[in-house]
Amino acid sequence: MIKKAILPVAGLGTRFLPASKSIPKEMVTVVDRPAIEYVVREAVAAGIEQIILVTHSSKVSIENYFDRNFELETTLEQKKKFDLLKEITEILPPHISVVSVRQPQPLGLGHAVLCAKSVVGNNDFAVLLPDVLVKDTDTKNDLALMIERFSASQASQIMVEAVPDHLVDQYGIVDVEQSPAEGQSTVMQGIVEKPAVGTAPSNLSVVGRYVLPAKIMQLLEQTPKGAGNEIQLTDAIATLRKTDVVEAYRMKGRTFDCGSKIGYLKAVLHYGVGHPKLGAEFKALIQELEL
Ligand code: G1P
């Protein structure tokens, strides 16, 4: 079973400036908690037990968020604010460990994943890109289904969704004979990073959720710089596909690109109205604004 997940969080978040000038973009709050918490919860809900952050010196607040804060806990305890105490100590279930490694240079997503090689060891693993929030409606989330499929077949799983044709140059795009139904996987014939509009093999874009075999680390070590002059995870997956079955998994849930300002605003709206405590009031507020 897949128990380890790599979350590359070293990116400087230029699409989210000025907010990301002095706080990590992953720590920007969506309703009442940082965006990264949603991604970590998604991994945990899929059965992940070790979160591996590939991080940067400017981003220690992410590690601090998932760590205990003795001073804060003591103060809340003394003030008998037990609800808040519970909230901050139960961000993650106790069996989850969070470890971090540094990406010393911004050499691309493939390089970021490679930085976690020694922590991953001989284990197969998942990768979750922190910009994208995946809102699942089913109790078993998309990542859990991908992990199940990987465990049963050993075929790597790459989560995809359809995007408008004019946006294909912003994503990894997969080549498949026939687009799979939502919640299903199909064998991939190819994958290409950010193809020019008009040259893409399909409109199925890589969402930022992957289930990969340990051996992809060796492929990443040999992957030359590609699109954007960066070492691309997409290129290593393309190499893997030549010898192993790699499948595109078409997601059922909905994505929010919190790396972009408009995607972030959409996420706040959707997670806001769905919030167990604030949802009703927030929805009423939106309706009021529409008048
Ligand atoms: C990365 C991946 C790309 C994927 C995208 C999803 O690109 O390289 O294949 O489609 O994430 O968000 P980036 O957004 O880091 O340029």
Q: Which two tokens stand for residue 44?
A: 């945990």
Whether residue 181 is predicted with pLDDT greater than 90 in this model: the reply is: yes
**Atom 15 of ligand 1, nearest CA residue:** 109
Length of the chain in terms of residues written: 291
Spatial contact of 188 and 141, defined as CB atoms under 8 Å apart:
no
Q: Which two tokens stand for residue 110?
A: 């493939």
Q: How far is the CA of 256 from the centre of ligand 1 (A)?
A: 13
Q: Is 96 exposed, middle or buried (0-12, 13-18, 19+ CB in 10 A)?
A: middle
pLDDT of amino acid 109: 97
Single pTM value for the model:
0.95
Pocket probe for ligand 1: among 26, 205, 206, the residue whose CB has the most ligand atoms within 8 Å is 206
**Atom 8 of ligand 1, nearest CA residue:** 172
How many angstroms separate the CA atoms of 185 and 165, rounded? 21
Cβ(255) – ligand 1 distance below 6 Å = no
The model's confidence at residue 291, banded by pLDDT at 50, 70 and 90, is low
Q: Of the candidates 108, 75, 133, which has an alpha carbon nearest to the alpha carbon of residue 265?
A: 133
Say how many C-beta atoms besides its own lie within 10 A of residue 262's C-beta.
Answer: 9
Q: Which two tokens stand for residue 124?
A: 């197969």
Q: For the segment 29-41, what is each residue's pLDDT rounded down to a tens digit?
A: 999 999 999 999 9
Whether residue 278 is predicted with pLDDT greater than 90 in this model: the reply is: yes
Cβ(112) – ligand 1 distance below 6 Å = no
Q: How far is the CA of 170 from the centre of ligand 1 (A)?
A: 7
Secondary structure element (H or E) that encloses residue 239, with its range: helix 233-240
The model's confidence at residue 116, banded by pLDDT at 50, 70 and 90, is very high
Average pLDDT over residues 136-159: 94
Cβ(9) – ligand 1 distance below 6 Å = no
Cα 98 to chain centroid distance, Å, stands at: 15
Q: Which two tokens stand for residue 148?
A: 């199940």
- Contacts with 96 (C-beta within 8 Å, 6 or more apart), sequence order: 44, 48, 49, 50, 51
Q: Of the candidates 3, 100, 114, 122, which has an alpha carbon nearest to the alpha carbon of residue 55?
A: 100
Average pLDDT, the chain: 95
142-153 vs 35-45: helix crossing angle, rounded to 10: 40
